[in-house]
Structure 1
Amino acid sequence: MHLDQIWREYGGALRGFLRKRVANEADVDDLLQDILIKTHAHLSEVRDPAALRAWLFQVARNATVDFYRARAKAQPVNADDLWYGAEEEAGALKDLEGCVASFLAALSDEDAALLRAIDLNGQSQKQVAANMGLAYSTLKSRVQAARGKMAEQYRACCAMELGANGEIIAATRKEAACPKC
């Protein structure tokens, strides 16, 4: 299949796909051009003509993600532009930070070590899995289970109000149920 034929067949659908994800029409045109260039450069890698449509839309998804990543990096965040202040951000989370050490101590040594390495020390899960000689999928399951146990401790200790994206907005300690922190 030739590039011009592919573009005639799928160009409109790709434009519609991008319009749903990008508001500015000029940005849509730029992304379409990037997709056309990538299609021209890598079309020979598509072995199955039946997979062409899926491949094109995957290229479009990746181009959209790259577009938003580049845009986020290009626009530094000014603290004065934020709708909340540092004191508000620190409020609920700062109150809960004191519980981390005691809650980790209540977990098994293995669970606590996983959470310390990944969540507190910032090691990648793949790196920890390799160091422990575990399959990556096994480690991911163990980390999720450990995080679940930690969350249970927080729920037993505190009444939390969560925002739309799951962020903690407010936390109130349940004094009787929270002798740990």
Structure 2
Amino acid sequence: MSGLEMDRRVTEFATRLNKFIRRRVSDDATADDLTQETLLKVFRSRARWPDGERLEAWLYRIARNTIIDHYRRRRPTEELPAAVAAEPRDEVDELRTAATATMRRFLADMPELYREPVRLAELEGLPLAKIALRLGLSLSAVKARVRRGRAMLKKQLQDCCRFEFDRMGKVIGWERKRPCDC
């Protein structure tokens, strides 16, 4: 594709790109700034566009990376007070250990079809492609099994516990709904 043709297609795509970014940031002005920054990155790096890759996919990838960079720049970098920094991380480690133990108990009750792919993905942190190779399955089969297994785990957790999330989706609190093994 010629440079002029690419410029024309990117310009036509700018509105969709702005809508994509707008759904992922808090205000319109930031979305406009990030759209402009994304388009600038695209035009500067258009010579490096991978041949054979769909232009839209490449544009969305650049937009996603620009959004990630935006949130990283906004992340507070305040120093912790010395007293807080010196505190042991026992509570965090204890919660992580409890969460892993709970997940192992729930995994034990899961049908074998889903148990091993979820265990490898969640507890061992293996990429889905490596899980597919290890289990002799197609990548799409592993993706489906991990997705369904995670849904089963989520249902089990939601049945026994009530979770409180921050606006970014991270768990900030929880309590048991009823006595259970979690």
TM-score, with structure 2 as normaliser: 0.60
Per chain length, whose mean CA-contact separation is higher, i.e. which structure has more relative contact order (CA < 8 Å, sep 6+)?
A: 1
**1:73-112 correspondence to structure 2 within 5 Å:** 78=77, 80=79, 90=92, 97=99, 98-112=101-115
Aligned equivalents of 1:170 and 1:38: distance in 2? 44
Unpaired segments ≥5 residues, structure 1:
47-53
TM-superposed deviation, 1:63: 2.7
- CA offset digits 1:125-154 (Å, max 9, x no partner): 111111111111111111122222222221
The answer on whether the counterparts of 1:31 and 1:64 sit within 8 Å (CA) in structure 2 is yes
User: Which aligned pairs between 1:17-32 and structure 2 lie closer than 5 A?
Assistant: 21=21, 23=30, 31-32=38-39
How far did 1:121 drift?
0.9
Deviation at 1:117, TM superposition (A): 1.1
1:103–1:17 Cα change, 3 Å:
closer
Q: With structure 1 as the length reference, what TM-score do the two structures score? A: 0.60
User: 2-side partners of 1:111 and 1:101: how far apart?
Assistant: 13
1:1-181 equivalences under 5 Å are 3-4=3-4, 7=7, 9=8, 13=12, 21=21, 23=30, 31-40=38-47, 55=55, 57-69=56-68, 78=77, 80=79, 90=92, 97=99, 98-176=101-179, 178=180, 180-181=181-182
Larger radius of gyration: 1
Q: Following the alignment from structure 1 to structure 2, what is the Cα–Cα distance between the partners of residues 117 and 5?
A: 45
Equivalent residues, number: 163
Percent same amino acid at aligned positions?
A: 18
